[in-house]
Amino acid sequence: KAGVTQTPRYLIKTRGQQVTLSCSPISGHRSVSWYQQTPGQGLQFLFEYFSETQRNKGNFPGRFSGRQFSNSRSEMNVSTLELGDSALYLCASSFGQGGLSGELFFGEGSRLTVL
């Protein structure tokens, strides 16, 4: 069974640009969550999608958005990039919302560097 796949793995952007990250969950999983991980702030929850609907949202500005498709694949978009957006963006999938009992399956992450 394939794991959670995130693309691209690494990318470099400049301030003001926008970026789209993709996440393909484990087959059969309907929930996808996104996290931002930085050395200073740790793991910060961005949002969760379940059956194409955003079910939860973290405390991030509107520049951060996401969506989920009917095949459960998800994308997140960051517009007008700032230097502080440099981070590892993690995607996690689960069968139920929040994994029901909490078990999330993570991808390897997309490392974004903003210059």
Partner 1 sequence: AQTVTQSQPEMSVQEAETVTLSCTYDTSESNYYLFWYKQPPSRQMILVIRQEAYKQQNATENRFSVNFQKAAKSFSLKISDSQLGDTAMYFCAFMNPVSSNYQLIWGAGTKLIIKP
Contacting residue, 15, 16, 103, 113, with partner 1 by CB under 8 A: 103
Whose Cβ is closer to partner 1: residue 46's or residue 114's? 46
Cβ pair 34, 12 in contact under 8 A: no
Rounded-to-integer distance, Cα 14 and Cα 33, Å: 26
Contacting residue, 55, 60, 65, 67, with partner 1 by CB under 8 A: 55
Per CB under 8 A, does 85 bind partner 1?
no
Rounded-to-integer distance, Cα 113 and Cα 2, Å: 27
Rounded-to-integer distance, Cα 66 and Cα 17, Å: 17
Whose Cβ is closer to partner 1: residue 65's or residue 98's? 98
Cβ pair 114, 85 in contact under 8 A: yes
Q: Which residues bind partner 1 (CB under 8 A)?
A: 3-4, 42-43, 45, 48, 55-56, 90, 92, 96-104, 106-109
